[in-house]
Amino acid sequence: MYDLFSDFFDGFDIFMQPPTMKEEKRCPVCAHTYSDFRRTGKIGCSECYNVFRPQIAAALRQVQPSASHIGKIPSKSGSELKRKREYEDLKRALAAAVKDEDYETAAKLHKRIREMENEVKKS
């Protein structure tokens, strides 16, 4: 007996097979993959940083909010370092306020920066 749908479903078996795994990108120097990094938490060689830069940067952003290491400030002898860090933070905030055209905030930040600079000149 002729099955009406047999011709219709011919060739659909290819869609029922699991998708083939795409070959993962490898470092040309050490042959490590990004999956190796995810599994071990270690980079194979210095070239891996160049090969997997976007993936590594994304992974680091999930763990640490800033791309640069700040470290801790000693509580006893770190007053100068704290002042320097505050000054740098104010300068960045001032640049962002000017970029966003938030001139009121920019004026307040500028005033605080000038106060800090005057404190340094007095000491």
Per-residue pLDDT tens digits for 43-66:
889 999 899 888 888 877 777 666
Length of the chain measured in residues: 123
**Higher pLDDT residue, 37 or 77?**
37
Residue 16 confidence (pLDDT) above 80:
no
Residue 20 confidence (pLDDT) above 60:
no
> Which residues fall within 8 angstroms of residue 34, CB to CB, at 6 or more apart?
24, 25, 52, 55
Residue 11 confidence (pLDDT) above 60:
no
R_g of the chain, CA atoms, integer Å: 28
Domain boundaries, the chain: 25-69, 79-122
Q: Is 57 left (phi over 0), alpha (psi -120 to 50) or beta?
A: alpha
Q: Which amino acid appears at position 78 of this protein?
A: G
**Integer angstrom CA distances of residue 16 from 12, 13, 41, 78:** 7, 5, 35, 65
**pLDDT, mean of residues 83-92:** 89
3-state secondary structure of 29: coil
The pTM for the full model equals 0.42
Residue 4's pLDDT is what?
Answer: 55
In this structure, how many other beta carbons lie within 10 angstroms of the beta carbon of residue 36? 19
